[in-house]
Amino acid sequence: MAQDNFSKIISHAKEYGFIFQSSDIYDGLSAVYDYGQTGVELKNNIKQYWWDAMVKMQESIVGLDSAIFMHPKVWKASGHVDAFNDPLIDNKDSKKRYRADELIEEQLDKIQKKVDKEINKARKRFGDDFDEEKFVSTHPRVVKYLGKIEKLRSRFIEALKNEDLDELKQIILDEEIADPVSGSRNWTDVRQFNLMFDTKLGSVDGAKIYLRPETAQGIFVNYLNVQKTGRLNLPFGIAQIGKAFRNEIVARQFIFRMREFEQMEMQYFVQPGTEKEWFPYWRDKRMNWHKALGFDDALFRLHEHDKLAHYASAAYDIEFDFPFGFKELEGIHSRTNFDLGRHQDMSGKKIQYYDNERGESYVPYVVETSIGLDRTFLMVLSAAYTEEKLEKETRIVMKIPAPLAPYKVAVLPLVKKDGLPEIAGKIMDELKYDFNCYYEEKDSIGRRYRRQDAIGTPYCITVDHQSLDDNTVTIRERDSMKQERVPAEQIFDIVNQKVNMKTLLKQI
């Protein structure tokens, strides 16, 4: 997907009420966004798809809605006060701020792209006879590039592991990495920057508290409450959807990286040792959730972490091919008993599970699935945005999976008179209990179809003069643009078959 597609998607999202910059009339607030009239519907449907798949369909998982503010000790125990940092670096000439680790990752990508270019060139030249493995291990330029990547990557990982900020800067200097905006190589030192927002609780001398940077801790500190009152046996999970806040250093990629965003997280509590089975189980299950949406499978891939977070023993990302390349969409983490153990130590409360079978008590292990709701929204927008060349024009159609579409049906009287709006009104009254419906009587029918295509409405129902005689209507399908005349009583079944969330859930 090309970068120029990205700017088209961003303007389309604004033009059709999906996403607005926050505080737009005051020129916006950086990396904060609002969801408009169509956006909120799509967002709610994504939430419902996740909740149904993770809670409604799973006997062993229950929900939770914990508060954003939590006791400050929570963030001390979780390690966020001391370790939730990103290394930042400023360019002295452009005054732009970057994440030092991202500059180095981009450098690695750049070299990898050179390798890919050589491979593609050779593939074209040799055709069917091309032996990629042999080419990669013998072609002098490719061998040189790959050697460079390996050396740079291991130096980089070592520096991250040791939190060696001087070494990160030295890598940037040695690699002659320039500011992507100004081309300048005049860098400051690398500094650690804590990503948590803080505020004060209560009046004047209130204690410093944080806006949560992840929803997971709300689940951990409620583990005992939920396990006891729900009388739950291991393995079981707790899921929640909610806002999280991070003072991101660089936030220039629309809703991919925001300072206020939403997460959908599930912590699965298991017997120690069994996390080795549950980890691949949840990784694959989550990948199926994405693939069930029906977009091209090649848009998704798994990426294993080189550097593990302070709490993790294994971690994979599910990455999506965004218009700016493959990037993390969801994280699957094996979090050991780190969080519950730390809360047990810090609070002095015993957080243990008595295992009848094993006849012992222990702190459960955790496998976590953590996905950004806004990133999922951007994934759907990016994959759905389609420009289609027709005979006389280009139509823009959002091929949003029907169960997630903001509106499921648009009801359109052909003209605003002769009793057609009344019939259309009756159809609306019948459908609106089950589907989010859109009613529109202005403009030519062709224009109205285009507007519905642009917001991804799977079906348009047109009421015309024939409807007055025989109570039939025309139903038009978004992707094929096929139109069919059907009795009005059949509308519900036709639409329901396609837009029901069941169609997605059954494939996971």
| Residues within the interface to ligand ATP (CB under 6 A) | 214, 246, 248, 257-258, 261, 263, 328-331, 370-372, 374-375
Shortest Å, Cβ 388 to ligand ATP: 30
Shortest Å, Cβ 243 to ligand ATP: 11
Closest to ligand ATP by CB, 80 or 169 = 80
Q: Which of 66, 86, 97 is nearest to 244 (CA)?
A: 66
Give the DSSP letter of residue 52.
Answer: I
* Tokens 């403009």 belong to residue: 443
DSSP for 307-335, written as a single string: S--TT-SEEEEEEEEETTEEEEEEEEEEE
Closest to ligand ATP by CB, 39 or 458 = 39
Give the relative orientation of helices 165-174 and 100-126 as an angle to the nearest 10 degrees. Answer: 40
Give the relative orientation of helices 140-161 and 100-126 as an angle to the nearest 10 degrees. Answer: 160
Closest to ligand ATP by CB, 250 or 454 = 250
Closest to ligand ATP by CB, 97 or 485 = 97
Which pairs from 390-395 meet CB under 8 Å and 24+ separation? 395/450, 395/453
Shortest Å, Cβ 373 to ligand ATP: 8
Closest to ligand ATP by CB, 275 or 330 = 330
Shortest Å, Cβ 210 to ligand ATP: 15
**CB neighbour list of residue 463: distance below 8 Å, 6 or more residues apart:** 411, 412, 413, 414, 420, 423, 424, 427, 473
Closest to ligand ATP by CB, 328 or 434 = 328
Q: Extract the tokens encoding 160.
A: 């991250």
Q: Extract the tokens encoding 429.
A: 């009254």
Q: Which of 462, 417, 416, 466 is nearest to 438 (CA)?
A: 462
Report which residue's Cβ sits closest to ligand ATP.
372
Closest to ligand ATP by CB, 214 or 275 = 214
Shortest Å, Cβ 309 to ligand ATP: 7
Instruction: Decide: 455 and 38 in contact? Cβ < 8 Å.
Output: yes
Q: Which of 74, 19, 16, 136 is nearest to 438 (CA)?
A: 16
Closest to ligand ATP by CB, 234 or 371 = 371
Closest to ligand ATP by CB, 175 or 374 = 374
Shortest Å, Cβ 489 to ligand ATP: 44
Element (H, E) at 368: strand 365-372
Shortest Å, Cβ 371 to ligand ATP: 5
Instruction: Decide: 109 and 103 in contact? Cβ < 8 Å.
Output: no
Instruction: Decide: 333 and 211 in contact? Cβ < 8 Å.
Output: no
Instruction: Decide: 423 and 461 in contact? Cβ < 8 Å.
Output: no
Q: Which of 214, 218, 220, 219 is nearest to 196 (CA)?
A: 214
Shortest Å, Cβ 101 to ligand ATP: 9
Shortest Å, Cβ 495 to ligand ATP: 32
